Structure 1
């Protein structure tokens, strides 16, 4: 995913599916300068991680 798209998803009022290695994530913050995003993995607010934005995928993930 590109940094600009991650920022658009983060700012969107719509729910847009984003996956990290096939797991659904929720983007909590985008650091455009460093190309990193803080994400919540699945629906667990205690499971957050900071990852490179290029590791994120929009859509259904690897289930298709």
Structure 2
């Protein structure tokens, strides 16, 4: 996923269809320097993790 698009999604109040390994996720914040995002599965908000933006897909 493009860094700018990930930032737009994270800042937007609207829900975007983003997946990580086929699982729908919520993007909490984007780390511009490392090109990573703090995410969690929609059905498991306690399972936060940091992943590379290249592994996120917008459906």
TM-score (norm 1): 0.85
- Structure 2 unaligned blocks of 5 or more: none
Stretches of 4+ aligned residues off by more than 4 angstroms: none
Aligned residue pair count: 59
Aligned CA RMSD, in angstroms, stands at: 0.8
SS at match of 1:54: helix
The answer on 1:52 being equivalent to 2:52 is yes
Match of 1:26 in 2: 26
Q: Distance in 2 between matches of 1:26 and 1:8?
A: 12
Larger radius of gyration: 1
SS at match of 2:25: strand
- Structure 1 unaligned blocks of 5 or more: 60-64
TM-score (norm 2): 0.92
